Amino acid sequence: MANNNTLISVQDLKVYFRTGHECARAVDGISFEVRKEETVCLVGESGCGKTVSALSILGLIPTPPGEIAGGRILFQGKNLLELDEEDMQKIRGNRIAMVFQEPLTSLNPVFTIEDQIGEAISIHKNVGAKELRDRCIKLLKDVGIPSPVQRLKDYPHQLSGGQRQRVMIAMALACDPDLIIADEPTTALDVTVQAQILRLLKSIQKIRSMSVLYITHDLGVVANIADRVYVMYSGIFTEQGNTAQIFHDARHPYTQGLLASLPSRSKRGKRLYSIPGTVPNPAYKPAGCPFHPRCPHAILTCAKEYPEMCDYGQGHLARCPVLLEGGDGYK
Amino acid sequence: MLSFIGRSVVQKIITLFFVSIVSFLIIHIAPGKPSQVDPMNPKFTPEVVERFRKEFHLDKPLHVQYLYFYKDLFTGETVSWKDNQSVLKKIWERFLNSLPLFIVGTIITWTLSFPIGIRSAIFRGQFYDRSATFLSYLLISIPGFFFAYVLIIFVVNQFHVPVIGMETFGIGDGASLPHIFMDRIWHLLLPSVLGATGGIAVLSRYVRSQMLEVEGQDYIRTARAKGLSPEQVHYRHALRNALLPFVTMFGLILPGLIGGSVIIESIFSWPGMGRMAYEAILARDYPVILTVNFVSAILVLAGTFISDLLYLIVDPRIRL
Q: Spell out the residues 6+ positions from residue B21 whose beta carbon is closer than 8 angstroms to its own.
A: B66
Determine contact: B229 vs chain A, CB below 8 A. yes
Residue A308 has pLDDT above 90, yes or no: no
Residue A220 lies in a domain: yes
Better pLDDT: A177 or A299 = A177
Label the pairing between strands A39-43 and A310-311: unpaired
Burial profile A287-319: b = 16 or more Cβ within 10 angstroms, e = fewer: ebbbbbebbeebeebbeeeebebbebeeebbbb
Q: How confident is the model at residue B262 (pLDDT cuts 50, 70, 90)?
A: confident
Q: How confident is the model at residue B76 (pLDDT cuts 50, 70, 90)?
A: confident
Residue A146 lies in a domain: yes
Substitution target from A107, A108, A139 for chain B, most B beta carbons within 10 A:
A108
Tell me the C-alpha distance between B89 and A92, whole Å. 65
Determine contact: B234 vs chain A, CB below 8 A. no
Could you give the angle at the alpha carbon of B182 between the alpha carbons of B180 and B183, nearest 5°? 60
Q: Is B203 helix (H, G, I), strand (E, B) or coil?
A: helix
Q: Nearest Cα to B112, choosing from B10, B197, B13?
A: B197
Contact at CB, B221 and A60, closer than 8 angstroms: yes
Residue B223 has pLDDT above 80, yes or no: yes
Tell me the C-alpha distance between B268 and B168, whole Å. 12
Q: Nearest Cα to B114, choosing from B232, B238, B299?
A: B238
B218, B227, B244 member nearest A89 (Cβ): B227
Q: How confident is the model at residue A1 (pLDDT cuts 50, 70, 90)?
A: very low
Residue B207 has pLDDT above 90, yes or no: yes
Report the pLDDT value the prediction gives residue B320, as an integer from 0 to 100: 56
What's the total number of domains in chain A?
Answer: 1
Amino acid at A315: G
% of chain A at pLDDT higher than 70: 97
B224, B229, B314 member nearest A60 (Cβ): B224
**A200-221 average pLDDT score:** 89
Where in chain B are the domains? 2-75, 96-250
B222, B227, B244 member nearest A106 (Cβ): B222
Residue B40 has pLDDT above 80, yes or no: no
Average pLDDT across chain A, whole number: 86
**What is the residue range of A123's domain?**
6-234
Residue A197 lies in a domain: yes
Q: What is the pTM of this model?
A: 0.80
Q: Nearest Cα to B313, choosing from B257, B222, B250?
A: B250
Contact at CB, A100 and B223, closer than 8 angstroms: no
Q: What is the pLDDT of residues A3-23, one digit of tens each?
A: 678 889 999 999 988 888 888
Report the pLDDT value the prediction gives residue B46, as an integer from 0 to 100: 78
Report the pLDDT value the prediction gives residue B10, as an integer from 0 to 100: 93
Q: What is the pLDDT of residues B84-109, one digit of tens each?
A: 788 888 888 888 888 888 889 889 99
C-alpha distance from A268 to closest chain B C-alpha (Å) = 39
Residue A327 lies in a domain: no
Q: Is A217 helix (H, G, I), strand (E, B) or coil?
A: coil
On the CB side of B116, CA atoms within 13 Å amount to 22
Residue A247 lies in a domain: no
Better pLDDT: B196 or A329 = B196
Residue B213 has pLDDT above 90, yes or no: yes
Residue A194 lies in a domain: yes
Residue A13 lies in a domain: yes
Residue A331 has pLDDT above 60, yes or no: no
Better pLDDT: A81 or B60 = A81
Q: Which positions in chain A touch B126 (Cβ < 8 Å)?
A: none
Tell me the C-alpha distance between B186 and B162, whole Å. 8
Report the pLDDT value the prediction gives residue A326, as an integer from 0 to 100: 55
As to burial, measured by CB atoms within 10 angstroms (0-12 exposed, 13-18 middle, 19+ buried), residue B39 is exposed
Residue A331 lies in a domain: no
C-alpha distance from A226 to closest chain B C-alpha (Å) = 24
In B30-86, which residue ranges form alpha helices assigned H by DSSP? 46-55, 62-75
What sign does the CA torsion over A95, A96, A102, A105 have? negative
Residue B251 has pLDDT above 80, yes or no: no
Q: Are A238 and A322 contacting, i.e. CB atoms less than 8 angstroms apart?
A: no
Residue A2 has pLDDT above 80, yes or no: no
Residue A128 has pLDDT above 90, yes or no: no
At A61, which CATH number? 3.40.50.300
